Amino acid sequence: MSEFIYLASQSPRRSQLLQQLNVRHELLLPNAAADVVEDAEAIEAVLPHEAPHSYVQRVTGLKLDAAAARLARRGLPLAPVLTSDTTVALGQEILGKPADAAQAQAMLRKLSGQTHEVLTAVALQSGGQRLQALSISKVRFMAMSDAQIDAYVASGEPFGKAGAYGIQGLAAAMIEHIEGSYSGIMGLPVFETAQLLRQLGWKI
């Protein structure tokens, strides 16, 4: 069994959560200078009428395909590869990463006073074996004023985050209730990830 895994994610939060499990890992990220340009935006595009749970699992699988190809292309030592993707859904509407401040404000106005779902899929590949898990949590925001939303957007925290917020940051002061996995809402459900690793023989 390998002594480490590859994490195909740029998220520092996912790396921190793996550290919490004492899982040694190395990052396996796209290289802008590589001969193959990977189109992350195409991978994350939503298909027409796609349900949030289908979307997040499909995107995670595509990310794993890309990471496995990256590993083979670079001729790196073999080890399991882990990918994850998080999406925020209000009903059947998928709220991705905001492109600008106006989009972040619009997303947060939709979430204000409402309960939404945070879906995080995890996929792990070791040789020909592929394992997947899905974590679904519910988050309720308090009713936020325009001034509160504007101040939060001005902090810069919403950018690069699905649904335009990060639970581990300033947004925590506006979240009334969560039901499910806190680490899943952060971006990597620790319980489900540990279960997948145990299936590969890791002692966690």
**For residues 166, 11, 102 and 118, what is the CA-based torsion angle, rounded to 10 degrees?**
-50
Pick the catalytic residue from 85, 100, 146, 150.
85
The answer for residues whose C-beta is within 8 angstroms of residue 54's C-beta and 6 or more apart is: none
Packing angle, helices 101-111 and 146-154, rounded to 10: 140
Beta-strand relationship, 93-95 and 129-141: unpaired
Backbone phi, psi, residue 186, to 5°: -65, -30
The answer for residues whose C-beta is within 8 angstroms of residue 59's C-beta and 6 or more apart is: 43, 44, 85, 87, 121
Respond yes or no: is residue 150 known to be catalytic.
Answer: no
**For residues 156, 47, 86 and 110, what is the CA-based torsion angle, rounded to 10 degrees?**
50
User: Can you read off the two tokens belonging to residue 181?
Assistant: 């996995």
User: Among all residues, which ones are annotated catalytic?
Assistant: 85
